[in-house]
Amino acid sequence: MRFMAPVFDDERVTPLADLFRLLGDPTRLRIVLACVRERIAVGAIANALGLSPSLVSHHLRLLRAARIVRSEREGKQVFYAAADAHISAMLAGMLEHVAEPVAESVVDWQEHA
């Protein structure tokens, strides 16, 4: 097991907080989840989520700038996908986490917080 130094410095914490802030928007999160499943075009994302292509494009620009998604051009079409395995694995782990039943200790902890 590799030792990881504590991450308390702004050099790494601030960009991580920014990433979570971007993913904290339900619309952006739905867009990223669509990109995790498969390479997908803006129009297909817009249709699947019931959003306008311009809104999807706006969110994708932000997500791409944060290296959460990547784009690939094929002719006139641009396809988007999760930027890398880290993004896919993080989202898969978090989806698994929220699907777990709430443990008694968690309920007790939340009541006393």
Tens digit of pLDDT per residue, the chain (113 long)?
555 666 677 788 888 899 999 999 999 999 999 999 999 999 999 999 999 999 999 999 999 999 999 999 999 999 999 999 999 999 999 999 999 887 665 656 566 55
Specify whether the CB–CB gap between 90 and 99 falls below 8 A: no
Note the maximum CA span of the chain.
57
- The amino acid at 94: M
Give the per-residue SS3 of the chain.
CCCCCCCCCHHHHHHHHHHHHHHCCHHHHHHHHHHHHCCEEHHHHHHHHCCCHHHHHHHHHHHHHCCCEEEEEECCEEEEEECCHHHHHHHHHHHHHHHCCCCHHHHHHHHHC
pLDDT, residue 41, reads 97
Question: Where do the domains of the chain lie?
Answer: 10-112
pLDDT of 102 reads: 76
pLDDT at 101: 85
Topology of domain 10-112, CATH: Arc Repressor Mutant, subunit A (1.10.10)
What angle in degrees, to the nearest 10, is found between the helix axes of 26-37 and 53-65? 80
Name the pTM for this structure.
Answer: 0.81
